[in-house]
Structure 1
């Protein structure tokens, strides 16, 4: 059963129920006061809620204490289908841009149930759309028609895309639940760490004491008394006047210089970044009532990885992780997937030899044990070269060894790179497709083929082609890893809800690409660890069937996040 919501989550809501065949069963218009209890009543029958944008609708329900099991996020699913190579001949892909292509709104049971078959829908409804210009019923019908059209010629592709749409929508629910609940955060611990690193909090703004002291040191060493080290242009000019041959103020360039200013300047940059990204102002803005409430953007990166709209949740530095502390009587269960992307390309390519290298847990050490490379450090270098397209240095030198040892896995990313160099799309395992290269790429390739083109035109065209090939090489691995992770947390979410007892419900509190934190009653820590592991195993089977790839995890129960590293 599907329940399609239209209108506004804070105004009148049109609620339309469709049965499994897409036939309209009922339709009703509800006030805000009527809407909340109606959702609560209908959720007991476990429908799939179909709405324009989870970030718009779900916070209203969460604020009322309601969680839902399943949804279909029309905006997220539209974006996937609109760009999917498998859907390129469908009506949805061919239509001119419309309101469904706009940027996201500015607010912000795994198994047979979550990913079950969503059967055909009837023709688009004649119900009027809401004030955004988005007609939820019509868009849902259009998306289902696109999947049906794909299924006629590519049933496996349609099934994978359907799984991706369900996983993406489940991720949207999880993102809003994590935002609402927040990550446990001790402001006293955070303040103490900042004071130790930066000095006391300035009373009236300005630089903390240690940053000001470093600023004075930098000015003295560069003989530039009026220098503002936060101004990149002024700093670069001062460095050049002091005789440093640098073209930027990056740490890589600075480390190559021999001058007494290098060490204090690098220290200043590190502490200044901490102060601006996670200092006292950040704590005031983002931590409320002992919780950090980030705003996740599901699918915010083109590969399907998440981004954040603010708060920097995906880049919590080590200096402040000690502030992430479990409540009394609770614990943090932290899990990290090891070497995820190499395992992903092994599974995608069906390279059993590479999969075997990761069977005991550490895939990099497995490469050493197999005699492919001599050290674990070289194994990591070689694999990074394969995933990111190294052409120089030690990574490039080691690449031929990987190709000989694992021709299927390395061949998969090489093929993706060659496709990108030609300007072709590539797709993840479930069917998220890469964008086409931009106008600069197109112009450069055309210029290089013209009869009057010169060596410079050809060099630029080749360079842009190689750059795009590096992007598509990594797209298939990173994007499929993101799909595995979505299925992992979707399955984990259902398992955690089933563990709830009178002392509380363990819940996802943080997600970073291949890492999760579950905030759990302490007595459930072992059960949560088992749930994390079994959800990872199920995610592997869901994507890759019986292929023998091991998605190894490190799982620890700690009282604070810094203890997990």
Structure 2
């Protein structure tokens, strides 16, 4: 059963039940309390809740103590189907831009807007959109049932990811403010009472001014700093830490230390803690599919970029543990499965894939194996990666053929797609592909720029198929893990996801369930591999650690 929720133009909420054949019941008009009752009574029947944006509808349910198992996020699904190569020629793909092409819910806590004012759909009709999406999949199925089935799995996984993102935001990551504050004070000095730089940062700033003989220098100002470095005779073109590390001058050591401290202060300092940590929990706002490959992004809080300095503040509650798991060499395993390259799959079976390449005689060291694989994934044309590419090509022709074909398609301006059917965007209107023939009077520089742009886009599409399919596997991994964690709940609590970082998850669990969670994490990874790739013999190896704080997992 599908249940469509929509904001009513007359205020309040409408609930419409749809059969699998698309037959609609008479809509029920509900207020906020009525919706909570309706969800609670219908959820045991395991319907799929259909709504415009999970980030709009789900927070209010979570705040009321309700969770749903399945949903379809129409806006996320629309974005995938609108761009998918498989949907060419369908009504959805060919339709002009409409309300479903707009951005999702803006940042901020919107848990109360749903009940206070009714859900605004901005003129969009959720039932019509849902039926259009189902008809689109039917159209694809008529010509390629396998593609339609994969797209349907992708929509379900993406929508489940949206549920997980809101659950993690609502529950929050356990965070020790005292540990975080102690870390900041040790690195930066005491928190300034009236703004300004902490004492240690100001001391470093003074050392930089002395070394560069510029008492008025503001080291936070990139233009001022660059001018001072040049006046000191240093051959700099920028102020990045990578460029500065190559220089020898008394100002460099305190400057690098200053930049590190300033980054910590701005990204995860006291102001960040005040804004994002409440009642011992860090509540990030994830953006599902925020990157074109399907990877997640964040609206704020930086959950995808927690630096090592503050990870000790991610600390399990008393009597609880953190189970941290990450997938080893995920993207190489993904392209092995996509290309059905059994030789590469065998190299990674139940072990470190890079060491497997060494043991198979493909390369001589693990470091070379890693360099070679990065070259394959990102299109190395020079250096050590390019030198090692012929060895990979001979050993794993299917894998290299897959990524090379994706690169050539990108150079021609064509779309490429992930395993489940998310397709790459097309280059801009001013882009010319590798096959474009320049006019006879076109400057040579223009021709070079066009060909370089084609190569750059080819590197993007080369990596798109690997990174995007890895994101699909990870979403299925989390979806399966979410179900298993709920089944483990007992009187002492329920294990729950608190962090997702591309190929890494963290679960906060009652300590006595940590071993069971470890098994669940591993089984969910195996199931995700089978769900996507059937019986192809590829292993998705995990590193799993049970710790009391996040910094202990690395």
TM-score (norm 2): 0.96
How far off its partner does 1:25 sit?
Answer: 3.0
Q: Could you list the per-position Cα deviations for residues 439-473 of structure 1 after superposition, in whole angstroms to 9, with x for gaps in the alignment?
A: 3424x879862221121111101110111111111
How far off its partner does 1:360 sit?
Answer: 3.0
> Which of 435, 444, 454 is equivalent to 1:455?
444
Map of 2:258 onto structure 1: 268
Map of 2:113 onto structure 1: none
Map of 1:367 onto structure 2: 357
> Which of 169, 180, 187 is equivalent to 1:179?
169
How far off its partner does 1:184 sit?
Answer: 0.1
How far off its partner does 1:134 sit?
Answer: 1.0
Task: Label 1:8 to 1:384 Cα distance change in 2 as closer, same or farther (>3 A).
Answer: farther
- Contact persistence 1:55–1:107 (CA under 8 A): no
Instruction: Determine whether 1:518 maps to 2:512.
Output: no
Q: Could you list the per-position Cα deviations for residues 271-295 of structure 1 after superposition, in whole angstroms to 9, with x for gaps in the alignment?
A: 1101100011100000000000000
Q: Could you tell which deviates more after superposition, 284-293 or 17-26?
A: 17-26
Map of 2:342 onto structure 1: 352
Map of 2:549 onto structure 1: 560
- Contact persistence 2:51–2:126 (CA under 8 A): yes
Q: Map 1:6-17 onto structure 2 (within 5 A).
A: 6-7=6-7, 12-17=12-17
Q: Could you list the per-position Cα deviations for residues 481-533 of structure 1 after superposition, in whole angstroms to 9, with x for gaps in the alignment?
A: 00000000000000000000111110111110010000000110011100000
The secondary structure found in structure 2 opposite 1:335 is strand
Map of 2:96 onto structure 1: 96
How far off its partner does 1:395 sit?
Answer: 1.3
Q: Map 1:304-343 onto structure 2 (within 5 A).
A: 304-343=294-333
CA distance in 1, matches of 2:413, 2:132: 28
> Which of 376, 379, 397 is equivalent to 2:387?
397
Q: Could you list the per-position Cα deviations for residues 105-144 of structure 1 after superposition, in whole angstroms to 9, with x for gaps in the alignment?
A: 1145xxxxxxxxxxxxxxxxxxxx9551110000001101
The secondary structure found in structure 1 opposite 2:457 is helix
- Contact persistence 2:201–2:261 (CA under 8 A): yes
The secondary structure found in structure 2 opposite 1:24 is coil
> Which of 165, 169, 184 is equivalent to 1:194?
184
- Contact persistence 1:337–1:553 (CA under 8 A): yes
> Which of 135, 139, 143 is equivalent to 1:149?
139
How far off its partner does 1:351 sit?
Answer: 0.4
Instruction: Determine whether 1:498 maps to 2:484.
Output: no
Map of 1:59 onto structure 2: 59
Map of 1:226 onto structure 2: 216
CA distance in 2, matches of 1:404, 1:259: 47
CA distance in 2, matches of 1:21, 1:107: 36
CA distance in 1, matches of 2:64, 2:311: 31
CA distance in 1, matches of 2:153, 2:70: 13
Map of 2:267 onto structure 1: 277
Q: C-alpha root-mean-square deviation of aligned residues, in Å?
A: 1.5
Q: Could you tell which deviates more after superposition, 285-294 or 41-50?
A: 41-50
Which stretches in structure 2 are left out of the alignment for 5+ residues? 109-118
How far off its partner does 1:8 sit?
Answer: 6.3
CA distance in 1, matches of 2:341, 2:455: 26
- Contact persistence 2:412–2:435 (CA under 8 A): no
> Which of 514, 534, 539 is equivalent to 1:545?
534
CA distance in 2, matches of 1:471, 1:197: 38
CA distance in 2, matches of 1:459, 1:507: 52
How far off its partner does 1:234 sit?
Answer: 1.1
The secondary structure found in structure 2 opposite 1:243 is coil
Map of 1:117 onto structure 2: none
Map of 2:413 onto structure 1: 423
Say how many residue pairs are matched. 544
How far off its partner does 1:260 sit?
Answer: 2.1
- Contact persistence 1:10–1:32 (CA under 8 A): no
- Contact persistence 2:107–2:299 (CA under 8 A): no
- Contact persistence 1:14–1:30 (CA under 8 A): yes
Instruction: Determine whether 1:79 maps to 2:93.
Output: no
The secondary structure found in structure 1 opposite 2:531 is helix
How far off its partner does 1:11 sit?
Answer: 5.2
- Contact persistence 1:448–1:461 (CA under 8 A): no
Q: Could you list the per-position Cα deviations for residues 217-239 of structure 1 after superposition, in whole angstroms to 9, with x for gaps in the alignment?
A: 11111111111111111111111
Instruction: Determine whether 1:164 maps to 2:154.
Output: yes
Q: Could you tell which deviates more after superposition, 449-458 or 551-560?
A: 449-458
CA distance in 2, matches of 1:362, 1:400: 22
Which stretches in structure 1 are left out of the alignment for 5+ residues? 109-128
Task: Label 1:275 to 1:448 Cα distance change in 2 as closer, same or farther (>3 A).
Answer: farther
Q: Could you tell which deviates more after superposition, 21-30 or 410-419?
A: 21-30
Map of 1:23 onto structure 2: 23
CA distance in 2, matches of 1:433, 1:405: 29
- Contact persistence 2:179–2:312 (CA under 8 A): yes
The secondary structure found in structure 2 opposite 1:557 is strand
- Segments ≥4 residues shifted beyond 6 Å: 444-447
Map of 1:121 onto structure 2: none
